[in-house]
Amino acid sequence: MYIVLEGIDGAGKSTQIKLLKEWLEDNGLSVETIVEPTDSDVGKLIRKILTRSDATSDNVQKTLGLLFAADRLLLMNKIEKLESENVVVISDRSFYSSLSYQSPQDWIKELNKFAKIPDMVLLLDLDVKKSVERTDGIDEFENEEFLTGVKANYLNLAKSNDNFVIIDANNGPNKVSSDIKKAVAPLFDICKDCIL
Ligand code: TYD
């Protein structure tokens, strides 16, 4: 299984990935987590570019689209290997981030055509104002106008892809965690009604 957490900056993905991993392990599963952008050379370059003052400009966005697709492609062998070993892979972001943050969408889709489609995408849906409050503003992406567009793109993807589950990330972390567990439980035949 390849499960992905998506959402705008500050949605709480890393906290929720930790809680989900622990819970799946308590249920006897082997779990590995991954994060995009990765710590590959391409991933390091991406993180540098994200701090540029013109990071949201059209040309830099396209550059990032190319780099994110390359960084992701380098990750695919690892995901395939883990899956073949029956390890559950939980990822912080996927090509759906590129489809939501970068454009034009058709071109981004083409660039990512070799990326693996996740079995489940948990979209942590957070109000943009909360996102801006929660983030440090270091990356150019962490501004209200840009993130409003990203959030709308995510919600459109959720409408047209049946692997998406929308989770209300405006709730406290415990409620978000139990909503995530309830969504994931059926994938592993774990009792859904036993989750508090
Ligand atoms: P990071 O500081 O790790 O943010 P977060 O913890 O919210 O994931 O930086 C990742 C940034 O890169 C984040 O703003 C989202 C963006 N991003 C894209 O624009 N496209 C992508 O394909 C991916 C994977 C991330």
Cα–Cα distance for residue pair 174/53, rounded to 1 Å: 36
User: What's the whole-number mean pLDDT along residues 134-152?
Assistant: 87
Residue 40 in contact with residue 86, Cβ under 8 Å?
Answer: no
Exposed, middle or buried by CB within 10 Å (0-12, 13-18, 19+), for 159? exposed
Task: Specify the pLDDT at position 43.
Answer: 98
Residue 191 in contact with residue 34, Cβ under 8 Å?
Answer: no
72-78 contacts, C-beta under 8 A, 24 or more apart: 72/36, 72/98, 72/112, 72/115, 73/114, 73/115, 74/38, 74/40, 74/42, 75/34, 75/36, 75/38, 75/40, 76/114, 76/115, 76/116, 78/34
Q: Check pLDDT > 90 for residue 167.
A: yes
Which residue from 51, 93, 131 has its CB within 8 A of the most atoms of ligand 1, so it is best to mutate? 93
Among 65, 63, 55, 66, which Cα is nearest to 137's? 55
Task: Specify the pLDDT at position 134.
Answer: 87
State what percent of residues in the chain have pLDDT above 90: 90
Q: Check pLDDT > 80 for residue 39.
A: yes
Q: Ligand 1 atom closest to Cα of 142?
A: 14
37 CA to middle of ligand 1, Å? Answer: 7
Q: Check pLDDT > 80 for residue 52.
A: yes
Q: Check pLDDT > 80 for residue 139.
A: no
**Rounded to two decimals, what is the model's pTM?**
0.95
Please name each of the domains of the chain with its CATH number. Answer: 2-184 (3.40.50.300)
